[in-house]
Structure 1
């Protein structure tokens, strides 16, 4: 079953809900960046949550999340849009530790607990919306829960998990976001709190074959749930050779001439997808002359 996300409401609109299976998405990120287990979990959780946050947007709107906790992984960045496409990278991908005292991957140690989580939304306006909060745990899900409550003033429950195979490939990944809408009753809030206390780890549910619908049914009750939309999600990067050419053109003829003389060509690697691009000296010469490459 390929990755997908669902949008839903529950209890006559008192709760807004999102759930996603992101196993293949996270595996693609792992493959491209050669992440080790703990780094895979940190990057996978971040990308899974970013995917659901992107689904909250409309049209061509997009957002970028950046997690900087001061830990050995360095900054973790993910881009997502309203179309289910997401990309991401982790600065130091080969980070791994022994399991923590709960028997789980020690994501907090990898991410760090002294730093910030920032979200930048490009909503097609002149100014971008930017929200930033301090890291509260380094476990990622709790940090995004705090972000929603503090920066967007929306009480939310965020959960994301990644299970990693012994060979470092991704066994299962997924997540959910539940948000209380204005006017939610105390009864609904109490019911939600009890459900969150009982829910097993999301990655374990995905491993067992549970779908995003199953996860929301467990949390909210099938009889209370209204599915609004289902959409595929995937790792997708907007980089291309044409974009690299445009960037090099923007450097100016003098800089291009220096590349030709000193390096006899140019190489570039995309941070987000690790795709490598090479331009020969002859191709650079065409750019320097403002010609068109074929």
Structure 2
């Protein structure tokens, strides 16, 4: 019971009613995603807004495409969880994938990715909500390997990717499990589209570090054939012109890092004359966790007294609880501990 409660701390998946979700979504948008009058912003603030983490998505009659630059969000995850270089790359890619998949959902609907490997990396978790929130963690933040070794060796072969979608008006979440492909995140998300969604797709995700292991770029894109293409012959080949245009461009890490191009520039280069301005939508992205001291004390109260005492006895002196999703640490003073013990179940 104890491990179950603590492992799901902050993972508020149930009870998604439209009224509650819309209220939360409006609050988040007001706090994080307001669209200011840009005529009143200074040049420096305009530049900051232009380069802020975001998803840009659009669709045509045949495909839909979503692109992301989440360099700041991945940097924050790296700092909060003290990730090793290899784990920063893997977690960064997982965060990009979660945000891209969530961008096609509604309001507070969420997408959860759980990568479970057979190598040194046990598990990577990434969760994103359409309104821009993303958070992630790994059970093995310090794993490292030589830089010249394939990224997928850390997760190892034989693992699985579990994708969960928590949707409006659904009694229970939707789950899909597919085997890991190359365990490099990009190919694993491609596997999901191929075997679970059965939709032709192209996936390209990347996270780059400098010589000091600082994140210089994180992002990527997913191109999906729309369902109408399922009845057409060689629908996978239909994506080839878009992929060819993309591959004629410099790597995304160069476009956004050195050349300072925007996501919209890349979007136009891929879709060209098919792109219609009205189909473009921008969604700001932030590393954000809804945990709080109040939430965690409510969860601890649900424990049996014996389980609560076992948990508290693990920590001599001051008591603290850490949110695994964002690594925020909450201290409990003597009075709070006594109240928890009094209110917990017998």
Q: TM-score, normalised by structure 2?
A: 0.76
- The equivalent of 2:327 in structure 1 is 274
- The equivalent of 1:175 in structure 2 is 220
Q: Equivalences for 1:19-98 in 2 at 5 Å?
A: 19-98=67-146
SS of the residue 2:245 aligns to: helix
- The equivalent of 1:119 in structure 2 is 163
Render the CA deviation track for 1:190-235: whole Å, top value 9, x for unaligned: 41242344344322322131221122223222x2223431111010
Task: Tell me if the contact between 2:202 and 2:243 (Cα under 8 Å) persists in the aligned partners.
Answer: no
Task: Tell me if the contact between 1:142 and 1:158 (Cα under 8 Å) persists in the aligned partners.
Answer: yes
- The equivalent of 2:285 in structure 1 is 233
Render the CA deviation track for 1:224-280: whole Å, top value 9, x for unaligned: 223431111010011110111001111144544566677565321111111111212
Task: Tell me if the contact between 1:38 and 1:106 (Cα under 8 Å) persists in the aligned partners.
Answer: no
Evaluate the alpha carbon distance shift between residue 259 and residue 47 of structure 1 in structure 2; reply closer, same or farther with a 3 A threshold. closer
- The equivalent of 2:268 in structure 1 is 217
- The equivalent of 2:341 in structure 1 is 288
Task: Tell me if the contact between 1:87 and 1:235 (Cα under 8 Å) persists in the aligned partners.
Answer: yes
Task: Tell me if the contact between 2:201 and 2:239 (Cα under 8 Å) persists in the aligned partners.
Answer: no
- The equivalent of 1:136 in structure 2 is 181
Task: Tell me if the contact between 1:117 and 1:134 (Cα under 8 Å) persists in the aligned partners.
Answer: yes
Of residues 169, 188, 195, the one that matches 1:150 is 195
CA distance, structure 1, for counterparts of residue 286 and residue 210 of structure 2: 20
Task: Tell me if the contact between 1:8 and 1:228 (Cα under 8 Å) persists in the aligned partners.
Answer: yes
Aligned Cα root-mean-square deviation (Å): 2.2
Render the CA deviation track for 1:20-78: whole Å, top value 9, x for unaligned: 11100100000001112111111100101101111111022112101112221221000
How far the C-alpha of 1:177 sits from its partner, in A, is 0.9
Task: Tell me if the contact between 1:37 and 1:96 (Cα under 8 Å) persists in the aligned partners.
Answer: yes
Of residues 53, 57, 60, the one that matches 1:3 is 53
Please say which of residues 176-185 and 232-241 is displaced more in the overlay.
176-185
- The equivalent of 1:204 in structure 2 is 254
CA distance, structure 1, for counterparts of residue 187 and residue 109 of structure 2: 25
CA distance, structure 2, for counterparts of residue 260 and residue 91 of structure 1: 22
Q: Which runs of 5+ in 1 are unaligned?
A: none
Of residues 43, 47, 64, the one that matches 1:16 is 64
Q: Which runs of 5+ in 2 are unaligned?
A: 1-50
SS of the residue 1:93 aligns to: coil
Q: TM-score, normalised by structure 1?
A: 0.89
How far the C-alpha of 1:135 sits from its partner, in A, is 0.7
**Structure in which a larger fraction of residues adopt helix:** 2
**How many residue pairs were aligned?**
284
